[in-house]
Structure 1
């Protein structure tokens, strides 16, 4: 009986239709953790399919856990600020993004999508490369690497300004809407 249940479970999973990107009108919502130097936080993103392999969307990150120097600021014994405290504007970033969804071009798996892309954020012009895998038609996991290409502030950035303006990784859940 146990063997029969295992076979039925495997067949049920193998016949599940969980397409990663379906083209025009496809909608994805992602929520996950954001990891970067001196901070961890929350990442939310939404993508909308415009064509067979093109989507646009928005992404937002907020640094929750930051290093103690950025949380409190650092002053020398004379009261001069050495490291500024990171404020809301340093912790928050909002991005408009463009993705090339090439999972179906690579033909790795119907449930897998690889999406390189570009983004315009409040902090920089950047790029990202992400991958998502769907276990069911509505739920999957994703990972994404984000990196700045051109920073808007070309001067030396303070440690607080480096938040959301450096290489970061996201990991979390993705949903079909």
Structure 2
């Protein structure tokens, strides 16, 4: 995930996912396992008067597989390093009536965790 702040409380970005370990069971090819999304976040940590190192951000994403929403939180231990977690869910799936099990891989509720770097 890459987010770029365009104001104090707004960021735009890109995220990508790639599902591992399913190609044999579901006959999933690269296009089934890969997704790319454009993101919009409303960074509301300071609006809610939470700790300066903590950010809470609801957002929307428009991807190759669906239109979705997410809710994330990140905490910076230093000015350049932190941790994040994010909950994501599709709001509208494309061609939802014809999805195979392999095509449905990136059309599910997801939980992400990871490191954040402030460059």
- Name the counterpart of 2:114: 172
Gaps of 5+ in 1: 1-44, 74-83
- Name the counterpart of 2:9: 53
Whole-angstrom CA distance in 2 between matches of 1:148 and 1:121: 10
For 1:53-72, what aligned pairs fall within 5 Å after superposition?
Answer: 53-66=9-22, 71-72=23-24
Deviations 1:133-161 (A, max 9, x none): 00000000000011000001121421111
When normalised by structure 1's length, the TM-score is 0.65
Relative contact order: is structure 1 or structure 2 higher (C-alpha 8 Å, sep ≥ 6)? 1
Structure 1 position 52, deviation (Å): 1.5
- Name the counterpart of 2:62: 120
For 1:17-166, what aligned pairs fall within 5 Å after superposition?
Answer: 45-66=1-22, 71-73=23-25, 84-166=26-108
Whole-angstrom CA distance in 1 between matches of 2:85 and 2:77: 15
Whole-angstrom CA distance in 2 between matches of 1:146 and 1:153: 19
When normalised by structure 2's length, the TM-score is 0.95
Q: Which runs of 4 or more aligned residues in structure 1 lie more than 6 Å from their structure 2 counterparts after TM superposition?
A: none
Whole-angstrom CA distance in 1 between matches of 2:96 and 2:104: 12
Q: Which has the higher helix share?
A: 1
